[in-house]
Amino acid sequence: MDSASLVNVAALLGYGGFTVVWLYIAGLLIFLLGLMASIALHELGHLIPAKKFGIRVTQYMVGFGPTLWSRRRGETEYGIKWIPFGGYIRMIGMLPPRPEDEPGKLRRASTGPFQGLIDTAREAALEEIRPGDENRVFYRKPWWQKVIIMAGGPAMNFVLAFILFAVVLMGFGVATEQTVVAEVPQCVKTEQAARENPECTPSDPLSPAAEAGLRPGDRVVSVAGRPVSDWDELSRAIRAEQAGPVQIGIERDGKPLTLTANLIAQERESLDKPGTYEIVGYLGISPKVEIQRQDLGAVVAHMGDLTARTAVALVNLPQKMVGVWEAAFSGEERDRDGPIGVVGAGRIGGEVAALDIPVENKIAFFVNLLAGFNLAVGMFNLIPLLPLDGGHIAGGLWEGLKRGFARITRRPMPGHVDIAKALPLTYAMALIMIVMAGLLMYADLVNPVRLTD
């Protein structure tokens, strides 16, 4: 066990004993089980259409490495392997034979290391084909069937993410900040003064909210005559007013009131550009937080927003990985919004399981964590590079485009797209992915992302 894990365990023992440690371990195991279930469903998204279109599938495996358990059903071996960080199905005939291997054509000698590599891979693929399998190979299938088969895995991740997000938002609900006042500070202090003495003293000026007469339980309905319906609108309206008097419309005990608050200018973090600060108007109230169940439209909007943000994160992934490298080897602070690996996500699951919070909150967090994982896996697999699913989808679409053009122009129908020619790039991408996974695993061990400081 690494030193960071020992610190975690020691801290856990400090506020709950061995029971909390077991909860931490249980959180790790629960996340791994959810991870394996997600992988199994991803591969099922490939398996079902592959069998539907008549392709012979020899293996359906969850995990990598040595086989832990397997059983054969018909022509397919189903099993679980020891390393639960991936999975695959094995379809025969993923690579087409060389054109010169067709009857009536001369066979040329292989030259160059890359050509030899490609030929070896072709021969290995051809060895799986038995007599009678000629029309059950992947490369002979129509382009649209190839696209459906390879898109089935990411599609399953997206469907699973949507269902899990719906469970969280519609079943458990989300914490929503209301325009109801929860707390009114009596005075205004600088950060340094608050650290030295958080209590108000006679020399401290009253907060604008306290001076205006706002009380906990008041519902703010307007700022400077403009209606506000949620906390974001209220906060932005207050900030936009800057310093000076402003009319605050409230409801108190069901009755409308108008108060005048003399806002002050304070430096606050920007709502639109986190990490940057600006001078804004300050009132001095905190919102009441309520758990509200959302409707299906909110789930769709949430899924769309996270999909867009995940796409941006994938574009910025190389830059983010530089930050992971610096955090792993230079001791810099880990970016909470940066990428984390399976090990890091599992550790977060363990921390949540050990927290002293209601069980339903823990369940909601785990469901939300798995939903985000499935969304990220689905998006990552759509990158149009081999060996990812997106590379095969791109190959199928390119084949369909070429055949459609040939049909329109009445030219001879082109052959199947030969993805074997991209094997050198495929192996290079696979190596990069292995290095990235190793870097994330190391960073998650020595400098993990933590829920709390």
Please identify which of the residues 43, 211, 351, 399 carries the catalytic annotation: 43
Determine the Cα–Cα distance for residues 212 and 209; give it in Å rounded to an integer. 5
Determine the Cα–Cα distance for residues 384 and 388; give it in Å rounded to an integer. 7
- Angle of the 17-52 helix axis to the 143-166 helix axis, nearest 10: 150
- The string of pLDDT tens digits covering residues 204-230 is 888 898 899 999 999 999 999 899 988
Residue in the structure block whose two tokens are 């696209």: 147
Over the range 81-94, which residues count as b (16 or more CB within 10 Å of their CB) and which as e?
beebbbbbbebbbb
Beta pairing partners, 262? 245
The burial class, CB within 10 Å (0-12 / 13-18 / 19+), for 198 is: exposed
Q: What φ, ψ does residue 168 adopt, rounded to 5°?
A: -70, -50
Q: What pLDDT does residue 78 have?
A: 96
Is the sign of the CA dihedral 103, 400, 40, 24 positive or negative? positive
Give the three-class secondary structure for 213: coil
Determine the Cα–Cα distance for residues 424 and 446; give it in Å rounded to an integer. 33
pTM beyond 0.85: no
| CA separation, residue 87 to residues 47, 134, 255 (Å) | 12, 26, 62
pLDDT along the chain (453 residues), means of 10: 40 48 76 89 96 94 91 94 87 77 46 62 74 87 95 96 95 87 83 74 84 91 91 89 88 92 85 80 87 90 92 88 86 79 79 79 88 92 89 92 91 82 81 87 82 57
**Contacts of residue 222, Cβ cutoff 8 Å, sequence gap at least 6:** 228, 247, 248, 249
Count, residues in the chain: 453
Q: Kindly write down the DSSP assignment for every residue of 136-172, as one continuous string.
A: SSGGGS-HHHHHHHHHHHHHHHHHHHHHHHHIIIIII
- Angle of the 359-381 helix axis to the 143-166 helix axis, nearest 10: 160
Give the three-class secondary structure for 80: strand
Active site residue 43: yes
**Contacts of residue 434, Cβ cutoff 8 Å, sequence gap at least 6:** none
Q: What pLDDT does residue 167 have?
A: 95
- The string of pLDDT tens digits covering residues 278-292 is 888 888 888 888 888
Task: List the domains of the chain with CATH numbers.
Answer: 23-173+295-453 (no CATH), 175-292 (2.30.42.10)
Q: What pLDDT does residue 302 have?
A: 92
| Type of residue numbered 43 | E
- The string of pLDDT tens digits covering residues 377-420 is 999 999 988 888 999 999 999 999 999 999 999 898 888 887 77
59, 388 Cβ separation under 8 angstroms: no
Q: What pLDDT does residue 13 have?
A: 41
